[in-house]
């Protein structure tokens, strides 16, 4: 059982989804992970596999913005 838990930790750290599903089928649950395992996973997380969390300023388009784009495309298609 200890080997399966360690295998799950390795699969989680490497992002091997198929192996994670296989370990779960064999009865290893995430509740079996120890604090030491979680610390290891957090400390070895690959930076390139996480979601980007850049702060992006997003503005909601107004009706005028929509019409400006729509009418410009309409005029280009129908009158040029």
Mean pLDDT of 26-33: 85
- Provide DSSP, the chain: -HHHHHHHHHHHHHT-HHHHHHHHHTT--GGG--HHHHHHHHHT--GGGSPP-------PPPHHHHHHHHHHHHHHHHH-
Mean pLDDT of 7-26: 87
Q: What is the pTM of this model?
A: 0.52
pLDDT digits (tens, 9 = 90+) for 31-48: 888 899 988 888 877 655
């Amino acid at each position: 059982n200890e080997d399966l838990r360690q295998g799950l930790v390795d699969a989680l750290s490497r992002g091997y989804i198929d192996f994670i599903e296989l370990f779960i089928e064999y009865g290893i649950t995430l509740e079996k992970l120890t604090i030491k395992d979680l610390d290891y996973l957090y400390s070895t997380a690959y930076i390139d596999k996480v979601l980007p969390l850049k702060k992006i300023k997003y503005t909601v388009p107004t009706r005028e913005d929509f019409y400006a784009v729509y009418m410009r495309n309409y005029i280009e298609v129908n009158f040029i």
